[in-house]
Amino acid sequence: MAFQAVDKTAKVFIQFLSNGELWGNTYYFWKADGYDQDDLDDLAADMDDWVAVELLPNLSAECVYVGTYVTGLEHQEDYTAYSDASGGAGGQAGVCLPNNAVLCMKRISEFTGRSARGRVYIGGLRSTNLTSGASNQNTWSATTISTVLAALLEIATYVVTHGWIEVIVSRWNEGVKRADGQTRSVVDWTFTDDVVDSQRGRLH
């Protein structure tokens, strides 16, 4: 795909290793006065801290956090940053589920429409995160959902110190590629249902 600028915006890719395969999640952030190398370094460090404190303690010890990659999206040749200061294994004992067994969480902006919302697929979870007992084990437990949701809601508090705002990036509208990517501020996180979803590309 030809380069498409996204004004004052950076992409964060958080990479994990589980079941012998690399995978990760993507987040986007916007800075009102633009960014330079120091700004991306700060963002990488902030998100590395977020993973360490909020997310990693809830993942299987068989899931390893590799590091956080940050890329500026405003220019075709742009700044990059990386942090793995908090790299290491998840904090929960237990076997990691297959990489395609994920909890789907939804980021929400103040606008309606597909271009104004997004999803992230959280992996690295364990069988004990599923609904137990006589219930259907094709679903995540309420505790697991609330714990992951609480972690995602904390993202904004880690990046705001350095002037970053979490956003959703829209590159297409009704099947037509935009001239430039558009951003919408993330105002909330939620989930659609408690069913175990499949990120099929993660299973090899």
pLDDT tens for 129-151 read: 998 765 667 899 999 999 999 99
Supply 123's token pair.
């992996």
Exposure b/e, 71-84, CB count within 10 A at least 16 = b? ebbbeeebbebbbe
Closest of 201, 63, 198, 60 to residue 129, by C-alpha: 60
pLDDT in tens, 54-106: 999 999 999 999 999 999 999 999 999 999 999 999 999 999 999 999 999 99
Residue the block writes with tokens 């991306």: 40
Spacing of C-alpha 73 from chain mean position: 17
First to last CA, the chain: 25
- What is the pLDDT confidence band of residue 117, given thresholds at 50, 70 and 90? confident
> Contact at 8 Å (CB) between 91 and 47?
no
